[in-house]
Amino acid sequence: MERRIIKKGKHYPNNFIFPFMVEFNNEVSITVKYAFMSSCLYDFDDNDEYDKNKLVGISFVVFPRIRTKKWLNNKIDSGNVVLPWFKFLGLVVIKPHHWSSIRICWNTVNKEGKIDVWPYVYDRGMRISGMKKMAMCEIDQKYIFTVNVYKESDRIELFCYDEARTDINSNLYRIKDKGSLFMFLDLYFGGNKAAPHDMEFEFARL
């Protein structure tokens, strides 16, 4: 496994993974192995505590989506969470991963010295709310994280389990807007705030 570090004041790790993938098969799978070191623990004394840091995932579109401000207002008035990138001339531009994506995320809300693992999904510009926690990971232990995509059925599976496969956690979702050119979504701290100190991970792409 290789060491990855998110430096204090940064969002991204020191070693970059090329994001674009072309996949014409019906099934797409990404599997990574991570161990969270003790430096991954942190404590924010505000609402940023609940922001979800990104571990691994897939964006199903690679170009921004453009919608009208009326579309945005209708979605927000209906109680949806939408994150516009910027607005101009009555239009709204939405980043690809804020339009159609699925990720496995983490934070340390539990305050028990463990890592909380969460699903994080955008479907057609709207963030899916009410996601339940997938797992809690021990510090310094290796865990496997998998994203499986079945394009024809719109089915997406998330898995999180330890190396011994003694504690397997899975979630199932459906996302409509998917193409053949995907983006791999890499490790990222935030939320709004950058890393409060250097954070170290052990990592392998399986």
150 inside domain: yes
Task: Give the range of the structural domain holding residue 186, as residue numbers without chain letter.
Answer: 2-64+96-205
Average pLDDT of span 32-39: 97
Beta bridge partners of 183: 20, 59
Q: Is the pLDDT of residue 186 over 70?
A: yes
Under 8 Å between Cβ of 14 and 7: yes
Average pLDDT of span 7-22: 83
80 inside domain: no
State residue 130's pLDDT score: 84
Match 């945005």 to its residue by tokens. 72
180 inside domain: yes
Of 205, 200, 203, 202, nearest to 10 by C-alpha is: 200
Residue 127's domain is classified under what CATH number?
A: 2.60.120.200
* Burial of 62 from C-beta contacts in 10 A (0-12 / 13-18 / 19+): middle
112 inside domain: yes
Walk across the sheet containing 27-36 and list its strands: 2-6, 199-205, 27-36, 142-150, 155-162, 169-174
192 inside domain: yes
Q: What is the pTM of this model?
A: 0.91
Q: Is the pLDDT of residue 183 over 90?
A: no
Considering its fold, how many domains does the chain have in total?
Answer: 1
State residue 164's pLDDT score: 83
101 inside domain: yes
78 inside domain: no
73 inside domain: no
State residue 124's pLDDT score: 92
Under 8 Å between Cβ of 4 and 191: no
Tens of pLDDT, residue by residue over 37-90, are 999 999 998 888 999 999 999 998 889 999 999 999 999 999 999 999 999 999
